[in-house]
Structure formats: C-alpha cells, structure tokens
C-alpha cells in the first residue's frame, strides 16, 4: 500500500490532492483528479516530468512520452489487499449493472476492443480503462464468471469498480449481527433470501468468502475529477457523512458495516442514498402507495435526482408507466405540488458528468429520462432481456448520447 508523495514541481492541484486524508493506508481515487495522472508506478517505474500528454483527454503532468497503447499508470487506486496500477487512459468505459450476465459482459468487452491479452489473462483495452458501477451479482445465471472476469480486471488494473447495493447486501447477509445473536446484518427473511438465492447457489465455499472480502474493499464512489461514478446517486452531503464516519470513500472496519446496516445511523442513511438512491414521500402529498416490480407496497417513490430542473413532486417522483396502486389499478398522475427544500436537495446541479446504474432502464437511452447534460444512467436491465450498456467517455465535458454502446449492437458469442 502506498501513500501519495508530493513530487517537486507538481501542480497546485496535485498538491491539493495529496492533502486528502489517508486512512489506515487506504486512499480513495477521489483525491486524485483523473486529469492529474499522478504516477507512482509500482516496481520503480515512477514517472517524472511535466509535459501534458497529447491525445489523452485526461492530461497528465509528466511522465514518459505518451503513445497509443503504451501503459501509463495512475496511482492511488490502492484497494485493500494490494495496490493496483492502471493503464492510461485514453478514456473510460463505464459499464452498467451486470447481475450475473457474463455472456453479455464478454460480448460488450470484446465489442469495445477489450481482449484477454494481459499476462494475467484479464480483459484489457490497449488504452482505455473500464469502470463498473456495481451490482455485479444477484438475479442472473453466470454470477461466478462475472465476478472472476471483473475482479481479474480490477486486480490487473484494467478496470475499477464501485460498490452496488447488491454487493453491500451480500456483505450484510453474510455478517452476523453482533447485537442480535443468531441474526445477520441483513435479515434472512423469505424476501431477502429470494433476492439473494441465485448468488448463494452459484457462488459457494472459498469463492464466496474471497469475493465477499473483495466487496468490502470497493469504493462507494469514484471522483476522477472530470467524471464521477456512483452506483445510484451522487450526493455531496451523503459523501461528506461517509468520509467523516469511515475516513474516505470505502469502508475500513467491520463495525462500519454494522452501522451501515442500522436504520437511524447517519452512516446507514448516507450509504442508502449513494447505493440505493433517494426517495420522495407520496402519501403526505395525497398520492396513493404503489406496488413495485416485485409486488411490494411502497409509499415512497424513487427521486429523480438526475433531473436538474426538478422542483415539484411530479418532477421528482419516479413513477413508471406500468405502476399500479395496491388494488391493481393504474397509478394516477402525480400532482405538481411544491416539495420542501430537503427533498429537492438531492437534485444534481453540478457541471461535472456523473455516471450511475441501479435504475433498471430499458434500452435505448432517452434524453432527460436516462441522460441529461451532466448525468448518464448505464443500467439497462442486462438480465431482464435488456441490454448490458457502457458509456464510452473520452474527455467530453457534457454527456453525449452517441457515446452509449450496448451489448445488443454486437452479435452474441457462440454459446
Ligand atoms: Mn442497484
């Protein structure tokens, strides 16, 4: 594990980066803007110099001459259990929720030019890096293969991964509750068992322990400077809570999972927003409850935090066209009533593109529903006869819908 060191002649922003807290030897990528490429290569390959890299959208402060295909290194993405070196980065391919759809994953990776050319056998792109937004597991039929592919890439430095709510749930499902003997941090209720059954069946024994240990090390978000990645919702106040409670953008101690599983704990509330997304109440505005996709009654709707213009309840409440009330009748239209500032505070108004998953969209992406100038969802329901999707970012400062790519665009690999 390495801590960043300040190099002579580094830029002011670089110096700011290294002032970020380093906790227990862990540091998040957050403090290292992607444009900086501060390099401290493992094994003495550390770079020095000062010129920017032509052709690279994330200009680097120095280093060996850049050329296509040359592996440069970003330091700072040092997970628990070993540092990762990342290849530079002629762009990032942000890949949506996979949920055990390994065939679609390999189709998409191959279609984007990733090959198993790495000496470790991991998929790698010559000049780009993959970023997975989480929810690798649950529901789908090939979860172990997905985990092997993605972790190999993360270990080889050809991908980064943020935690999804399904990874957090898996950790909590497997963690005994210290305050309630015999119970787990995530209850083994019939509903929770059903949601997790495919994982429990497919990922067993040492594999399960190994991948659960890895899940615990995943960052809850990545701030790469020019782009941001989070599973469900980018929300500065929630991130500030996480940073103050755990010291950075990832968990660092087992008791933090207890707190993150305890309703009412500030860490629980913050992590829920980041990994499951904020919700807005319906009933207090005179709207009825609805039945969700699994038939469960909900009196709060998902909040459209990505809608930068959202103001009233109908702007904020995400009600799908197929939603019904509890008696099965179509959900009535949502009233345009004002909502208090705390509900509106989730709305994203920063001018930095943020990429997220979680929302089970249907391909193809629609403006203002799936993407806006500064937000882009990459979850298009890979395991529900949908599409596994990536957004291929190459330095643009606003979201460009033409940069979405879908597994459906490539002929599937032979079974
Ligand atoms: Mn999710």
Torsion of CA 238, 240, 242, 244, to 10 degrees: -150
Q: Distance, CA 273 to ligand 1 centroid (Å)? A: 11
Q: Does 184 fall in a domain? A: no
- The DSSP output letter for 383 is T
Contact at 8 Å (CB) between 94 and 133?
Answer: yes
| Selection from 195, 105, 171, 193 nearest residue 142 by Cα | 105
- Round the CA-based radius of gyration of the chain to a whole number and report it: 21
Structure tokens at 384: 């529900």
Is the Cβ–Cβ distance between 387 and 406 less than 8 Å?
A: yes
Q: Per residue in 327-359, pLDDT tens?
A: 999 999 999 999 999 889 999 999 999 999 999
Note the pLDDT tens digit of each residue in 108-132: 999 999 999 889 999 999 999 999 9
How far apart are the C-alpha atoms of 114 and 152, rounded to whole Å? Answer: 13
> Could you tell me the distance, in angstroms and rounded to a whole number, from the CA of residue 99 to the centre of ligand 1?
9
In 3D space, the residue among 39, 70, 76 whose CA is nearest the CA of residue 55 turns out to be 70
Is 13 part of a structural domain of the chain? yes
For 64-68, the CB contacts below 8 A with 24+ separation are: 68/126, 68/127
Residue 43 Cα to ligand 1 middle (Å):
37
Which residues constitute the domain of residue 22?
A: 1-90
Ligand 1 centre distance from Cα of residue 135 (Å): 5
In a domain, 342, yes or no: no
CA 348 – CA 304 distance, rounded (Å) = 9
CA 163 to ligand 1 centroid distance, Å: 9
Q: Is the peptide bond before 364 cis (omega within 30 degrees of 0)?
A: yes
Instruction: Flag whether 358 is in a domain.
Output: no
Is residue 397 situated within a structural domain?
Answer: no
In a domain, 139, yes or no: no
Q: What's the gap in Å between 177 CA and the centre of ligand 1?
A: 23
Region 168-174: mean pLDDT is: 98
Q: How high does pLDDT run on average in the chain?
A: 82
Span from the CA of 134 to the centroid of ligand 1 (angstroms): 7
- How many structural domains is the chain composed of? 1
| 218: in domain | no
Please determine, for residue 71, whether its predicted confidence score (pLDDT) is greater than 70. no
For residue 164, how far is its CA from the centre of ligand 1 (angstroms)? 5
Confidence (pTM)? 0.80
* Residue found by looking up tokens 């092997």 in the block: 148
Q: Give the integer Cα–Cα distance in Å for 62 and 59.
A: 9
The pLDDT of residue 4 is above 90? no
Burial of 212 (0-12, 13-18, 19+ CB in 10 A): middle
Residue 411: partners with Cβ closer than 8 Å, 6 or more residues away: none
**Per-residue model confidence as pLDDT tens digits over 181-224:** 999 999 999 999 999 999 999 999 999 999 999 999 999 999 99
Mean pLDDT lowest among 24-33, 185-194, 318-327, 365-374 = 24-33
Ligand 1 centroid from CA 379, angstroms: 9
d(CA 198, CA 141): 7
Instruction: Report CA(129)–ligand 1 centroid distance (Å).
Output: 22
In a domain, 74, yes or no: yes
For 110, counting Cβ atoms within 10 Å of its Cβ (0-12 exposed, 13-18 middle, 19+ buried), the class is middle
38-47, 180-189, 289-298: which is most confident: 180-189
């Amino acid at each position: 594990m390495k801590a960043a060191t300040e190099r002579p002649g580094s830029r002011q922003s670089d110096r700011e980066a290294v002032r970020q807290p380093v906790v227990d030897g862990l540091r998040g990528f957050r403090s290292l803007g992607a444009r900086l490429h501060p390099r401290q290569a493992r094994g003495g390959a550390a770079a020095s110099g000062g010129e920017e890299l032509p052709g690279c959208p994330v200009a680097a402060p120095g280093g060996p001459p850049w050329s296509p295909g040359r592996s440069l290194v970003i330091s700072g993405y040092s997970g628990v259990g070993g540092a990762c070196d990342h290849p530079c980065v002629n762009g990032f391919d942000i890949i949506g929720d996979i949920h055990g759809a390994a065939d679609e994953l390999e189709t998409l990776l191959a279609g984007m030019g990733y090959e198993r050319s790495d000496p470790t056998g991991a998929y790698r792109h010559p000049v780009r890096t993959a970023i997975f937004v989480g929810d690798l597991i649950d529901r789908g039929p090939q979860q172990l293969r997905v985990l092997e592919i993605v972790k190999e890439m993360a270990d080889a430095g050809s991908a980064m991964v943020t935690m999804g709510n399904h990874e957090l749930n898996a950790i909590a499902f497997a963690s005994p509750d210290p305050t309630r003997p015999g119970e787990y941090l995530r209850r083994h209720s019939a509903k929770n068992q059903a949601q997790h059954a495919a994982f429990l069946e497919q990922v067993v024994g040492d594999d399960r322990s190994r991948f659960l240990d890895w899940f615990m090390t995943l960052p809850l978000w990545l701030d790469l400077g020019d782009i941001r990645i989070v599973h469900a919702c980018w929300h500065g106040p929630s991130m500030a809570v996480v940073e103050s409670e755990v010291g950075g953008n990832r968990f660092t101690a087992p008791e933090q999972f207890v707190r993150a599983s305890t309703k009412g704990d500030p860490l629980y509330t913050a992590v829920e927003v980041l990994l499951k997304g904020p919700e807005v109440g319906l009933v207090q505005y005179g709207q009825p409850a609805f039945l969700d996709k699994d038939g469960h009654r909900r009196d709060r709707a998902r909040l459209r935090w990505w809608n930068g213009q959202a103001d009233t309840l109908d702007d904020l409440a995400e009600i799908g066209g197929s939603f019904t009330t509890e008696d099965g009748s179509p959900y009535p239209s949502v009233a345009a009533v004002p909502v208090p500032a705390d509900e509106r505070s989730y709305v994203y108004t920063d001018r930095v593109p943020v990429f997220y998953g979680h929302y089970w969209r249907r391909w193809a992406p629609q403006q203002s529903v799936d993407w806006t100038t500064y937000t882009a969802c990459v979850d298009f329901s890979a395991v529900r006869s949908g599409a596994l999707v990536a957004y291929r970012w190459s330095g643009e400062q606003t979201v460009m819908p033409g940069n979405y790519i879908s597994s459906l665009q490539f002929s599937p690999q032979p079974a």
